[in-house]
Amino acid sequence: MPYELVVDQERQLLWVRYSGVVTIAERRAVAETALANGASHGMRRFLLDFRRASTSSTDEASAEALAEYMAGAVRGRHLRAAWLVTYDHQLDAAVETKAHEVGVEIRRFREFDAAVAWLQRPEPAARPQASEDARESEPHGTPLAMHIALGSSHPARRAHGTFAVKVVPQSPDNPPAQAAALARLSLDKRYEGPLDAVGRGEMLADGGADRKDGAYVALERVTGTLHGRAGSFALVHRALMRDGTPEEWSVVVVPGSGTGELERLEGSLRISVEQGKHFYDFEYTLPG
Domain membership of residue 187 (yes or no) is yes
What CATH number corresponds to the domain at position 19? 3.30.750
Instruction: Flag whether 280 is in a domain.
Output: yes
CATH at residue 247? 2.40.350.10
CB atoms within 10 A of CB 134: 12
- Check whether residue 179 and residue 92 sit in a common domain: no
- Let me know if residue 140 belongs to a domain: no
Whether residues 228 and 113 fall in one domain? no
Contact 245, 84 (CB under 8 A): no
Residues 189 and 111 in one domain: no
End residue of a domain, out of 126, 149, 172: 126
**Same-domain pairing of 21 and 121:** yes
Residue 263 neighbours by CB under 8 Å, 6+ apart:
231
| Residue 123 confidence (pLDDT) | 63
Buried b (16+ CB within 10 A) or exposed e, 225-257: bbeeeebbbbbbbebebeeeebeebebebeeeb
Q: Tell whether 10 and 120 lie within a shared domain.
A: yes
pLDDT tens for the chain, 288 residues long, are: 567 888 888 878 888 888 777 777 777 787 778 777 777 777 788 888 888 776 554 555 666 676 676 666 666 567 788 888 876 666 666 666 666 666 677 788 878 888 888 888 876 544 444 444 433 333 333 333 333 333 444 566 888 899 999 999 998 888 998 898 888 999 999 999 999 999 999 999 987 656 678 899 999 999 999 999 999 999 999 988 877 676 777 899 999 999 999 999 998 888 877 777 888 889 888 887
CB distance 222 to 198 below 8 Å: yes
205 and 272 belong to one structural domain = yes
Domain that holds residue 195: 157-285
Beta pairing, strands 183-192 & 214-226: unpaired
Q: Is residue 208 part of a domain?
A: yes
DSSP state at residue 136: H
The reply to whether 105 and 175 lie within a common domain is no
Burial label, 70 (beta-carbon count in 10 A; 0-12, 13-18, 19+): buried
Q: What is the model's pTM?
A: 0.52
CA distance linking residue 223 with residue 191, whole number of Å: 10
Distance (Å, rounded) from C-alpha 97 to C-alpha 143?
A: 10
Domain count, the chain: 2
Q: Are residues 173 and 277 in the same domain?
A: yes
